[in-house]
Amino acid sequence: MLFLTKLAFKNLARHKNRTLITAIIIAFATFFYIVMDSLVGGMTEMSYETIIDYEAGHLQISNEEYWEEEEKLPLKNLFSVDGQMMTAIRNIPGYIGSSPELSFQARLNNGSDELPVIGRGVIPEAFEEVFALGNQFVEGSLFTSTELFSGESPVVGYQAVLGKRLAELMELELGDYIILLVKDRNETFNTIEAQICGLVHTSNLNVNQYLVYLPLAPVQEALSVGNEVSKVVIRMENKNLATGAAVKLENHLRSHNNYLGVYPWSGLEAISFAEAQNIENQVILTIILLIAAIAIINTVILAALERREEIGMMKAMGLQNNEVVYTFVLESIGIGILGGVIGVLMGIGGVWMMITYGLDFEAMFGMDMASFGMPVIGKVYGVWNPAAFVKVVSFGIIVSFLASIWPAYRAADKDPVKTIYHR
Amino acid sequence: MIRCSILLRMGLKKEDDSVTWSMVSNRHFLSLRLISFFQLGFINKGSRACHLNRATSDVMEVIKMALLKLKGVTKIYQQGKIEVPALRGIDLIVEEGEFTTIFGPSGSGKTTLLNMIGCLDKPSSGSINFGNKELVNLDKKNLAMIRRHNVGFVFQSYNLIPVLTAFENVEFAIRLINKHNKNELRDKVMKILAAVGLEGLENRKPNELSGGQKQRVAIARALVKEPKLVLADEPSANLDSKTSEEVLEVMVKMNKELGTTFIFSTHDPLVMDYARRLIEIRDGLIAKDQRREQDAVLN
């Protein structure tokens, strides 16, 4: 077997160009997998940050029953934030800030058209501690609690912040008035009139297209919910602290309000969705490696055809079929290893570039990717994922091994008389 | 030689020496064994150890004489619905140490016969005995094992492995047997390469060797495992006459030194000149089987 192993590896050098071409196909598949995995990893990381920074924070406190129906944004199962609760929240390790908010369904009216939107009543100072919206204003700024609109218009009213994209859809501009048609807790129709004081553009599709931010107190009044809120969103120093803190805080809160739950960011449906996207990407990349399998099959078939006489001679010398198969399979594994090593070296370079310089989708495609629902604004940076290197090289070798068995067996099973005498 | 004396005892005259072994029936074989038995007894009575040893060795030579025994061997190839008979009933006995040439026109069945003898193909009917093994009932795996240990092949197109050196090509055959340590193996390979006149060329790859040198490597590869039988199919077809002669000299030398049985299939008169037994095949049958006096042989 040792000699056959030696022969298999010597055969790699027999047609150097062909070996190299097949290895390069595998190398490119490996390279693409590694770079794509890094990119997808970076995008997943960004989408987590996008959800945390603009929607969910690290922890959310809400009524358990409300949480189950959260998508409908009901005005029941709300709760009041008292001093005792705030103390408990502020005492969790790694606490940075907390923002009470009241979410509600509304129809946005610009005077002629209407769109369904999500209204969110917030306390601006607390909101800025938790969310990263402050840096994303393309026009205007966030309202303050005390300041009421004092522009040219004599009407003193509410102020609102909404996504630039939503504003464009509704042909609204900074300073324009909007009307939000809402149903209060008693199912009575009401309207909230506000003037746009800021337009934002973020990597979060919901913020850009569906959310309208308003000061909390007037919203509570318009919806007849007293001083109750839907949830309290908490920001922490590190997202990795969230899960442990959620358990501790929930236990603490349950001693006073046994209906409240604390939910970390990692348990959100949107996060599971981002992970599902990741799996989808891996399936696509698996197809790339299947191309490598075809390259291997092609190489083995060509080699078997060229070496017909040689195989016949080897069998005449007394080699068994499995020994002939062994030489071909080992040769293919050699190509797989060679391709894998080249691919890994290329991949290391590619990932390093992705981490150092990032990828500017906007510059590449001339389009704003966030407008298409991709959680990308500005550059996307890759992430190191050593597991992807190991996985893709192992997979490449396994694919090379599996892909070579059938053509190698076909070559080995040929009648030696026919192969020697070209019959 | 004891063979002659046995034949004479069996009633065959000296001029019958040209009688072929294929004509020797099973009855004769039985007689041979019986004669061996009595001769042993006779020598025992004489109670001289040296006589005993010599006689034993001679008798053993008789017993192991039939390396190959083919009886009623036919081979029919199916070409679509048409049956093409390649061999129509071959009876043949080949002794150990023979230097035999099978000749005949193209399509007469000589290569088919060689393939049957070399365990590469199976007959459509009849029996083939290799030593005491009946080949017809053996599966591919066992046939391969017989080839691995007992048969060496030399083909017209050399069929050397291009990525291996001359040394490694020869080493390959002996590695398969796997019964030598590293030093023994090296010595053996170097010795056989020297014997075929390739000393100093062992590190050359096939593309760095001439046709004659390649064929010598093929011969060394066939012989290195010390097989009982070497089959050479048109070994001189790609060689000029001078090189052919050199290659044949090597094989004659090996036949003499190692006692290896050689069977050739050829059209080449030069190869026929070297043979001590000539078998002519026509239309799948043995047309002529002639043993030649040592003096008549070229070397």
pLDDT tens readout for residues A149-173? 444 443 445 789 999 989 999 999 9
Task: Enter the tokens of residue A403.
Answer: 């892909």
Instruction: State the pLDDT confidence band at A127, using cuts at 50, 70 and 90.
Output: very high
Distances (CA, A) of A360 to A37, A43, A133, A137, A365: 17, 12, 21, 21, 9
- Residues of chain A contacting B140 with CB distance shorter than 8 Å: 321
Kindly write down the DSSP assignment for every residue of B33-92, as one continuous string.
HHHHHHHHHHHHHHT-HHHHHHHHHHHHHHHT-EEEEEEEEEEEEEETTEEEEEEEEEEE
Pairwise CB contact (< 8 Å): B172 & A7: yes
Instruction: State the pLDDT confidence band at A376, using cuts at 50, 70 and 90.
Output: low
* Number of separate helices (H) and strands (E) present in chain A: 15, 14
Q: Nearest C-alpha of chain B: how many angstroms from A41?
A: 45
* pLDDT of amino acid B40: 37
- Mean pLDDT calculated for residue range B103-113: 88
Q: Is A148 a residue whose pLDDT tops 70?
A: no
Instruction: State the pLDDT confidence band at A368, using cuts at 50, 70 and 90.
Output: low
Q: Is B14 a residue whose pLDDT tops 60?
A: no
* pLDDT of amino acid A422: 63
Q: Is A97 a residue whose pLDDT tops 50?
A: yes
Percentage with pLDDT > 70 across chain B: 76
Q: Is B141 a residue whose pLDDT tops 60?
A: yes
Q: Is B11 a residue whose pLDDT tops 80?
A: no
**B11 CA to centre of own chain:** 28
Q: Is A217 a residue whose pLDDT tops 60?
A: yes
- Mean pLDDT calculated for residue range A379-396: 88
ipTM over 0.90: no
A203 vs B73, residue with greater confidence = B73
Q: Nearest C-alpha of chain B: how many angstroms from A15?
A: 10
Task: Give the three-state DSSP class for B158.
Answer: coil
Pairwise CB contact (< 8 Å): B153 & A3: no
B24's torsion region: left (phi>0), alpha (psi -120 to 50) or beta?
beta
Q: Nearest C-alpha of chain B: how many angstroms from A8?
A: 10
Q: Is B258 a residue whose pLDDT tops 60?
A: yes
When computed from its CA atoms, the radius of gyration of chain B, rounded to whole angstroms, is 20
Q: Is B83 a residue whose pLDDT tops 80?
A: yes
Of B144, B162, B163, the CB nearest to A319: B144
Q: Is A332 a residue whose pLDDT tops 70?
A: yes
User: pTM for the full model?
Assistant: 0.70
- Mean pLDDT calculated for residue range B189-198: 87
Pairwise CB contact (< 8 Å): B144 & A13: no
- Mean pLDDT calculated for residue range A316-340: 91
Q: Is A295 a residue whose pLDDT tops 80?
A: yes
Residues 6 or more apart whose Cβ sits within 8 Å of residue A231: A60, A61, A62, A66, A100, A101, A103
- Residues of chain B contacting A2 with CB distance shorter than 8 Å: 175
Q: Is A417 on the interface with B (CB under 8 A)?
A: yes
**B49 CA to centre of own chain:** 33
Of A13, A14, A318, the CB nearest to B144: A318
Q: Nearest C-alpha of chain A: how many angstroms from B59?
A: 32
- Mean pLDDT calculated for residue range A19-43: 87
Of B140, B157, B176, the CB nearest to A317: B176
- Mean pLDDT calculated for residue range B263-285: 89
Q: Is A25 a residue whose pLDDT tops 60?
A: yes
Residues 6 or more apart whose Cβ sits within 8 Å of residue A410: A304
Percentage with pLDDT > 90 across chain B: 23
Of A309, A319, A417, the CB nearest to B159: A309
- Mean pLDDT calculated for residue range A251-275: 77
* pLDDT of amino acid B39: 38
* pLDDT of amino acid A79: 92
A423 vs B233, residue with greater confidence = B233
Type of residue at B208:
E
Task: Enter the tokens of residue A303.
Answer: 């080699």
Pairwise CB contact (< 8 Å): B175 & A309: no
Q: Is B58 a residue whose pLDDT tops 50?
A: no
Q: Is B141 on the interface with A (CB under 8 A)?
A: yes
Per-residue pLDDT tens for A389-402? 998 888 888 888 88
| Least confident interval from A79-83, B16-20, B121-125 | B16-20
Which of B151, B163, B203, B228 to mutate to test binding with chain A, by most A CBs within 10 Å of its CB?
B163
Instruction: State the pLDDT confidence band at B26, using cuts at 50, 70 and 90.
Output: very low
Q: Is A259 a residue whose pLDDT tops 90?
A: no
* pLDDT of amino acid A47: 80
Q: Is A286 a residue whose pLDDT tops 50?
A: yes
* Interfacial A residues in 295-314 facing B (CB < 8 Å): 309-310, 312-313
In sequence order, the β-bridge partners of residue A359 are A380
Q: Which helix (H) or strand (E) holds B279?
A: strand B277-282
B3 vs B179, residue with greater confidence = B179
* pLDDT of amino acid B5: 38
| Least confident interval from A269-273, A326-330, B50-54 | B50-54
Q: Is A293 on the interface with B (CB under 8 A)?
A: no
User: In this complex, how many residue pairs, one in chain A and one in chain B, have their CB atoms less than 8 Å apart?
Assistant: 59
Instruction: State the pLDDT confidence band at B55, using cuts at 50, 70 and 90.
Output: very low
A270 vs A416, residue with greater confidence = A416
Percentage with pLDDT > 70 across chain A: 90
Pairwise CB contact (< 8 Å): A318 & B147: yes
In sequence order, the β-bridge partners of residue B153 are B231
Residue of A nearest to B144 (CA): A318
Residues 6 or more apart whose Cβ sits within 8 Å of residue B256: none
* pLDDT of amino acid B1: 38
Task: Enter the tokens of residue A316.
Answer: 């005449």
Per-residue pLDDT tens for B158-171? 889 999 999 999 99
Can you tell me the distance from the alpha carbon of B109 to that of B233, in angstroms, rounded to the nearest whole number?
12
* pLDDT of amino acid B42: 35
- Mean pLDDT calculated for residue range A119-141: 90
Q: Is B159 on the interface with A (CB under 8 A)?
A: yes
Query: Are the CB atoms for A180 and A191 separated by under 8 Å?
Result: yes
- Mean pLDDT calculated for residue range A263-279: 70
* pLDDT of amino acid A11: 87
Instruction: State the pLDDT confidence band at B74, using cuts at 50, 70 and 90.
Output: very high
Q: Are strands A114-122 and A231-236 parallel, antiparallel or unpaired?
A: unpaired
Q: At what angle do helices A321-356 and A2-11 cross, to 10 degrees?
A: 50
